[in-house]
Amino acid sequence: MIRKARINDVKAMHVLLNYFAGQGLLLPRSLSELYDHLRDYLVFESGDGDVAGVVALHIVWEDLAEIRSLAVEEAYQRQGIGRELIHQCLSEAALLGIHNVFTLTYQPGFFKRLGFKLVDKAALPHKIWADCVKCPKFPDCDESALLTEL
């Protein structure tokens, strides 16, 4: 089941995101950051009630949002959960009247299959780089930027 994240999900989200951050697949998120931006997050709840997937839709500007922090527990990967989490984010963006959604990722093929197109990172507003300065790879980012228009 995919639903909006709740306060009691934050610690499990933190563990899941930082597991993949430890592998260099996404940026780590602090507990404080997760609490501050809880309304951005959706979770996939497994049959036993555990958080087994997470994603955020972060509004950046008037007509621009970012999909960030997509992670699905390894046991649940390749079952369409990541795809459904992204679809839910895109539906929410459309409801909010946001027409452009981007992501920075190490998995560009996954997002291309969902209709995202590669773009030059320099084409994105400078405002998005606020998180990047926290990254150990900054300023030598090797993530791909992808964008979809709704």
Domain containing residue 48? 2-149
Is residue 6 helix, strand or coil? coil
Work out how many domains the chain is built from and give that number. Answer: 1
pLDDT of residue 77: 96
Is residue 131 helix, strand or coil? coil
| pLDDT band of 135, cuts 50, 70, 90 | low
Mean pLDDT of 128-144: 66
Is residue 139 helix, strand or coil? coil
**CATH number, domain containing residue 28:** 3.40.630.30
pLDDT of residue 121: 82
pLDDT of residue 97: 97
Return d(Cα 30, Cα 65) in angstroms, integer. 21
pTM > 0.75: yes
Determine which helix (DSSP H) or strand (DSSP E) holds 31, and give its type and residue range: helix 31-36
Task: Give the residue with greater pLDDT, 110 vs 124.
Answer: 110
| pLDDT band of 93, cuts 50, 70, 90 | very high
| pLDDT band of 27, cuts 50, 70, 90 | confident
Mean pLDDT of 129-139: 61
Residues 13, 56: contact at Cβ < 8 Å? Answer: no
Residue 15 phi/psi, 5-degree rounding, is -60, -50
Is residue 135 helix, strand or coil? coil
pLDDT of residue 24: 86
